[in-house]
Amino acid sequence: MKFYLTDEQKTINFTPFYAEALAINKNIHEDIDRIYKENKEAYYMEAIKSPFYDFLMGQEKKLIYEEYYRKAIGLISYAYNFDDENLDKKIFNLLKKAYKKTYAFFKNKTYVDMLEYIYYLQESSYFEKLSSEELDGNASAALFFTVELFDEDKVKNFDRFINEGFLPRWAFCINKCNRFTSKDFKGTLLETIDHKIKEVPKDLQDVVTGIKLSHNNPYAFLYDLENLNTVSLFGDIKLSKNEIREIISSYVLKSTTPDIDGKCFDGNFQDYMFAATQIKLLLKIYNEVKHTYFKNNKETMYVELDILKNKLKEFASEISNLRSKKSELQSAQDNEKQSLLKENENLKLEISRLKKQLEEKESHSKEVVALRDFVYKQKTENDFEIEDIDIDQIINTINKYNGVIIGGHPNWINKMQQKLTNWKFIGVDVNAMPDSILKGADVVLFFTDYLSHKLYYGIIDSLRETDIKVGYIKNVNVELSLLEIYNIVKQ
């Protein structure tokens, strides 16, 4: 049978060939188990990620071989993907143990001709006893030893060895043995199959499975010997039309292909279909069993469970770390919050201090400005022309304000009290001024020539916390004093 490959598909990956060589030799199964258990989770993960895990080369084998094929895929893939020289050496030793005769051919050579190895296989009586599967295993082991032991320039006829020994098998697996889509199954052969399908008895499957009893079922005895019931085995399997065509195709091939004596099969078509249908059903059941086995394989389930447990531990550890980080962040945030609160309180205190200082400065500024104005007037004012001033109007204007005058001679105070009836006067003999004296005042004036320092500073301290206007007067003459007061309150 000829299969067609693209140029890209002709590039062979030898992983499934090496895995097959390891799987089909029972003598190393225990060794594979021992190595596999050393890091089974990692090997299993590499196996199921490999494109060759469900490759036809492994699926076409019996169950035990397929199981070890999959394990071997995990070992080989891990060794390659992680450049694990130690595991690579273990795989080498496994193949040495499994294929001693083949290894013996390569071990003492400095260069090798792959055609000589083929002759070695053909001429050795040991290899004559091997099955085709075992010969394939030896060929794959030979390929492995060649790659591991020799440089490229020390190997002859390597491409021919690959193209003739491995490429056909690779093509078969890539095409998945789908004969009905290959170019070789066209024309007359398909016409013959379509013709023969009309001769298939409608009750063929019922008779084969035992659902319909028939004297033409001599194979039932064989099932009985194995304590198997055909109805139970085959009863729920329904062959499709395409599967019937596949059975017929085997009959057509057998009846049109000469055997070693040059003769073709000419047996009864219906008898052949009866036997071949049982084989087809058995093959389907076997594949179903393998599928169920691998689906429910305890070792695989335990490995997957261990992987999930480890992931759960990783997640738990990650959650714990995140919680720890969260706690640290929360603690840092709390500390930062406390620090900011403390800083905020300090800032409030500082603001309060600065505000008070500013108020003091503003009050002091108010006092200084008043003194500056007083001194300036002392230098610049000319003598007042008393006769030109309307004193009554000035008095009326001043009395519209609530004022306090601090200091002055008692006689002067008596005279001023008669003029400014709304004003309050504090003499120099007062030691402590009541807090209520400034209540409601618009202006406070100091008589500079007759004033106690203690009284002055005491009142100035109280004024600094108010918006009351401050001024200074000096004239003993009542009318001039009134004019000074008038100028101050009108500013």
* pLDDT at residue number 379: 44
pLDDT exceeds cutoff 50 at 1: no
* pLDDT at residue number 3: 45
Instruction: Judge whether 36 and 74 are in contact, CB under 8 Å.
Output: yes
With bands split at pLDDT 50, 70 and 90, how would you rate the model's confidence at 377?
low
- Mean pLDDT is lowest, of 227-236, 271-280, 296-305, 395-404, for 296-305
282-296, 454-468, 476-490, range with greatest mean pLDDT: 476-490
With bands split at pLDDT 50, 70 and 90, how would you rate the model's confidence at 235?
confident
- Mean pLDDT is lowest, of 17-31, 98-112, 273-287, 424-438, for 424-438
DSSP letters, 205-267, are: HHHHHTSS--TT-TTHHHHHHTT--HHHHHTT----HHHHHHHHHHHHHHHHS--TTS-----
Coil, helix or strand at residue 16: helix
- Mean pLDDT, range 222-228, rounded to an integer: 80
* pLDDT at residue number 36: 93
Radius of gyration of the chain (CA): 58
* pLDDT at residue number 380: 44
Instruction: Judge whether 374 and 471 are in contact, CB under 8 Å.
Output: yes
User: Residue 194, CB half-sphere, CA atoms under 13 Å: how many?
Assistant: 8
pLDDT exceeds cutoff 70 at 215: no
- Mean pLDDT, range 225-230, rounded to an integer: 80
- Contacts of residue 177, Cβ cutoff 8 Å, sequence gap at least 6: 56
CA-CA-CA-CA torsion sign (48, 50, 56, 61): negative
Of 187, 225, 231, the residue nearest 205 (C-alpha): 231
* pLDDT at residue number 214: 56
* pLDDT at residue number 465: 73
Of 408, 413, 415, 401, the residue nearest 468 (C-alpha): 401
* pLDDT at residue number 347: 82
* pLDDT at residue number 145: 95
70-74, 297-301, 342-346, 441-445, range with greatest mean pLDDT: 70-74
* pLDDT at residue number 121: 87
With bands split at pLDDT 50, 70 and 90, how would you rate the model's confidence at 89?
very high
With bands split at pLDDT 50, 70 and 90, how would you rate the model's confidence at 386?
very low
Given the DSSP bridges, would you call strands 469-473 and 403-406 parallel, antiparallel or unpaired?
unpaired
Q: How big is the chain, counted in residues?
A: 491
What's the Cα-to-Cα distance from 417 to each of 318, 362, 427, 475, rounded to whole Å?
A: 90, 31, 12, 15
Of 89, 23, 84, the residue nearest 52 (C-alpha): 23
pLDDT exceeds cutoff 50 at 93: yes
Instruction: Judge whether 208 and 284 are in contact, CB under 8 Å.
Output: no
Q: How far apart are CA 489 and CA 398, in angstroms?
A: 7
Note the pLDDT tens digit of each residue in 292-341.
777 777 666 556 666 677 777 788 788 888 888 888 888 888 888 888 88
- Mean pLDDT, range 45-64, rounded to an integer: 91
- Is the pTM value of this prediction over 0.75? no
Q: How far apart, in Å, do the first and last CA atoms of the chain sit?
A: 123
Summary mean pLDDT of the chain: 82
DSSP letters, 114-135, are: HHHHHHHHHH-HHHHTS-HHHH
* pLDDT at residue number 16: 96
pLDDT exceeds cutoff 90 at 264: no
124-138, 202-216, 219-233, 451-465, range with greatest mean pLDDT: 124-138
pLDDT exceeds cutoff 80 at 40: yes
Q: How many CB atoms lie within 10 A of CB 23?
A: 28
Q: At residue 135, what is the residue type?
A: L
Q: How far apart are CA 488 and CA 491, in angstroms?
A: 5
Q: Burial code of 170-207, b = ≥16 C-beta within 10 A, e = fewer?
A: bbebbbeeeeeeeeeeeeeeeebbeebeeebeeebbeb
Better-scored residue on pLDDT, 460 or 103: 103
* pLDDT at residue number 391: 87
pLDDT exceeds cutoff 90 at 180: no
With both helix axes pointing from N to C terminus, report the angle between 298-380 and 453-463 in degrees, rounded to the nearest 10.
Answer: 140
Coil, helix or strand at residue 326: helix
* pLDDT at residue number 208: 75
Note the pLDDT tens digit of each residue in 409-446.
888 989 888 989 889 988 888 766 777 788 888 899 98
* pLDDT at residue number 362: 57
152-166, 188-202, 212-226, 420-434, range with greatest mean pLDDT: 152-166
Burial label for 153, CB within 10 Å (0-12, 13-18, 19+), is: exposed
CA-CA-CA-CA torsion sign (224, 226, 229, 235): negative
* pLDDT at residue number 177: 56
